Amino acid sequence: MYILKLILRNSFRHRLRTFLTVLGITIAILAFGLLRTVISAWYAGVEASSASRLVSRNAISLIFPLPISYKEKIRQIEGVKMVSYGNWFGGVYIDEKNFFANYAVEGKTYLELYSEFILPPDQKAAFFRDRKACVVGRKLSAKYGWKPGDSITLKGTIFPGNWDFVLRGIYKGRDQAVDETAFFFHWDYLNETMKKTIPRRADQVGFYMIGVERPNLAAPVSAEIDKTFKNSLAETLTETEKAFQLSFVSMTEAIVIAIQLVSFVVIFIIMAVMANTMAMTARERIGEYAIFKTMGFGVWHITGMIFGESMCITMIGCAIGIILTFPAAKAFGAELSTFFPIFIVEDKTIGLDILASLVIAVVAAIFPAWRAVNIRIADGLRRIG
């Protein structure tokens, strides 16, 4: 208790220096936490993927479609529980800056497959009844102030023209890992319009979403689907939803690696700052450590005091940094909700913050402790006065 009191008082002996060091650690932990949250947000889609859902797309590229006629053939494959399908619509609201994910889907099967999208029964029924209906996520509706019954017009980029919709439902996620910024409407609406305007693009889907009976059937079912359409005009590439999401992330892997590197550089810099603070502290107190040694205090007491002080300063900065990470991430996430629909500070990030702080505290104290322990008492005493 006494030693703890001494550590605490020593930590605040040079108030300005301690304040500046704590401030530096706070900013570093805040930056580290936000950068790690960006990385988590990058992988949010992967994390939210279900192990019992498969995605089947054109084997050449995602931009090439598959015929709607594949639906029945896929449904007949053993192990397949449900088949849904859709297209990436790629429309924009008013202008390009209002970008959000929007899909044309087969509503009934899609909402059944994605049970994590919670839609009130009356809104779900209203959505199914109206061919021009759309459903949007809670965050997206809040962003644009939409409410059920509102008319929404999207400007098509892949499918030309202005597309009018009526908002019939607002879904919320089953948990905070679910994307609440998506926009869904009926694939039939898209297909019928295509039949009238560009008939050669009708009856084609961008992807099939396939529910399997058990997660362990994912691999054989995937193989069977691809085998079924081998040597056809549109061969399929079927993979689990997680693998499908990961293939998107891998396209931007270099950015993720860069962010990871920056996050570690931040920690490395603050480690150097903290080490400098502790080195200055130990140099100033070398005479005091000699006094402690003179009185019979041993290596463990001296190292304990130095490591304790380093730990105290670092952990105060860490705690403030962690506390500030939450409102900062909220503000950051709100600003960038289009790019990062799920921007949540994970428990793992907090754990990494604490781990990084512990590493900073320990590394910063090693050299000063080594110096304090190894200096001869007589030499240490000579530094006083």
**Binding another protein by CB under 8 A: which of 63, 94, 262, 384?**
384
Asked if 357 touches another protein (CB under 8 A), the answer is: no
Q: With respect to another protein, which residue has the nearer C-beta, 97 or 300? A: 300
Which amino acid is located at 106 in the chain?
E
Exposure b/e, 18-57, CB count within 10 A at least 16 = b: beebbebbbbbbbbbbbbbbbbbbbebbbebbbebbbbbb
The rounded distance, in Å, linking the Cα atoms of 29 and 187 is 46
Asked if 251 touches another protein (CB under 8 A), the answer is: no
Q: What is the closest distance, in whole angstroms, from the C-beta atom of residue 246 to another protein in the complex? A: 55
Q: Would you state the structure tokens that stand for residue 259, as one six-digit string?
A: 């962010």
Asked if 65 touches another protein (CB under 8 A), the answer is: no
Asked if 2 touches another protein (CB under 8 A), the answer is: yes
Asked if 376 touches another protein (CB under 8 A), the answer is: yes
**Binding another protein by CB under 8 A: which of 65, 90, 156, 287?**
287
Q: What is the closest distance, in whole angstroms, from the C-beta atom of residue 283 to another protein in the complex? A: 16
Asked if 303 touches another protein (CB under 8 A), the answer is: no
Asked if 24 touches another protein (CB under 8 A), the answer is: no
Length of the chain: 385
Cα angle 75, 78, 84 (rounded to 5 degrees) comes to 25
Q: With respect to another protein, which residue has the nearer C-beta, 273 or 381? A: 381
Q: Near another protein by CB under 8 A, which window of 4-12, 24-32, 221-229, 354-362?
A: 4-12
**Binding another protein by CB under 8 A: which of 231, 295, 327, 347?**
295
The rounded distance, in Å, linking the Cα atoms of 95 and 342 is 23
**Binding another protein by CB under 8 A: which of 255, 294, 330, 355?**
294
Asked if 280 touches another protein (CB under 8 A), the answer is: no
The rounded distance, in Å, linking the Cα atoms of 37 and 32 is 8
Other beta carbons within 10 angstroms of residue 155's beta carbon come to 16
Q: With respect to another protein, which residue has the nearer C-beta, 177 or 373? A: 373
Asked if 145 touches another protein (CB under 8 A), the answer is: no
Asked if 300 touches another protein (CB under 8 A), the answer is: no
Asked if 385 touches another protein (CB under 8 A), the answer is: yes
Asked if 3 touches another protein (CB under 8 A), the answer is: yes
Q: What is the closest distance, in whole angstroms, from the C-beta atom of residue 8 to another protein in the complex? A: 9
**Binding another protein by CB under 8 A: which of 120, 161, 298, 351?**
298
DSSP assignment of 145-194, as one string? T--TT-EEEEE-SSS-SEEEEEEEEEEEESSTTS----EEEEHHHHHHHH
Query: What stretch of H or E contains 208?
Result: strand 207-212
Asked if 288 touches another protein (CB under 8 A), the answer is: yes
Asked if 297 touches another protein (CB under 8 A), the answer is: yes
By CB under 8 A, the count of residues binding another protein is 21
Check: CB of residue 140 under 8 Å from CB of residue 192: no
Q: With respect to another protein, which residue has the nearer C-beta, 254 or 378? A: 378
The rounded distance, in Å, linking the Cα atoms of 31 and 281 is 26
Instruction: Please name which of 285, 382, 220 lies closest in space to residue 17, comparing C-alpha atoms.
Output: 285
Asked if 4 touches another protein (CB under 8 A), the answer is: no
The rounded distance, in Å, linking the Cα atoms of 4 and 195 is 78
**Binding another protein by CB under 8 A: which of 39, 291, 315, 324?**
291
Cα separations in angstroms, 182 against 64, 119, 189: 22, 13, 18
Q: Which residues bind another protein (CB under 8 A)?
A: 2-3, 6, 9-10, 13, 287-288, 291, 293-298, 376-378, 381, 384-385
